[in-house]
Structure 1
């Protein structure tokens, strides 16, 4: 199921392809690891997001090109540093909550954010102005 979830979102819905930057939150989960493999198979640059750096090495060994520890780093700044001026075209998020804003801030114009979970117990604010600026 984890591969069907990731494939359906990344390939069928987002049309992920070579050259895209894709952010995968909850990257050490079964769906997250499947998403890393699928994104790599099409030549996308995978940016795994995890809460702490404790899982960084394992995520790099699993194939993530970059890993960001969201509670230890400025998420938006790191994503912008990695993706550059083009930004992140696809975000595959299982968390929601406060990281929703920095995820949308790092997206490219016309980018796609797929929210498939709600692991955060905190509210997920919708940054309307930032999203409208990306269309």
Structure 2
């Protein structure tokens, strides 16, 4: 019980203190069914942002919607950058909150808006993380 606040502190620090998440923002939350991911969904909703939860399988889709995610992207069924583009439209996603890294990093940056902020707080993927230099420089992303 003493550690119950930790997921919220992690998500709050990243989304509110660093990214300045607000009401018009789209935020992508990967590993969304984790304790930090669920806290991030709640914090995004609290400030009026649109939470886009990303999960590997469809088994968690309904639970993430019930937790408050506006959208759920299932990686085994959908192409990530394409689906995020459909959701966020031409403006793109301003904030990405990701503990995975690895191959998911590139499609995440492809879906981001100019001046977007990608918060990488982990390395759950055991695969190498490609650095998408053209997207980062071209969109002046903050990592």
TM-score between the two structures when normalised by the length of structure 1: 0.99
Give the corresponding residue for 1:34: 39
Runs of 4+ with deviation above 6 angstroms: none
Partners of 1:70 and 1:117 lie apart in 2 by 18
Give the corresponding residue for 1:48: 53
Give the corresponding residue for 2:93: 88
Q: Would you say 1:120 and 2:125 are equivalent positions?
A: yes
Please identify the structure whose Cα radius of gyration is greater: 2
5+ residue gaps in structure 2? 1-5
1:49-100, CA deviations, whole angstroms, 9 ceiling, x for partnerless residues?
A: 0011110000000000000011221000000000000000000001100000
TM-score between the two structures when normalised by the length of structure 2: 0.93
1:29-56, CA deviations, whole angstroms, 9 ceiling, x for partnerless residues?
A: 0000000000000000000000111100
Kindly report the root-mean-square deviation, in angstroms, between the aligned alpha carbons of the 2 structures.
0.5
Residues paired across the two proteins, number:
135
Q: Would you say 1:65 and 2:80 are equivalent positions?
A: no
Q: Would you say 1:75 and 2:80 are equivalent positions?
A: yes
5+ residue gaps in structure 1? none
CA-CA distance at 1:7 after TM superposition: 0.1
Partners of 1:128 and 1:119 lie apart in 2 by 22
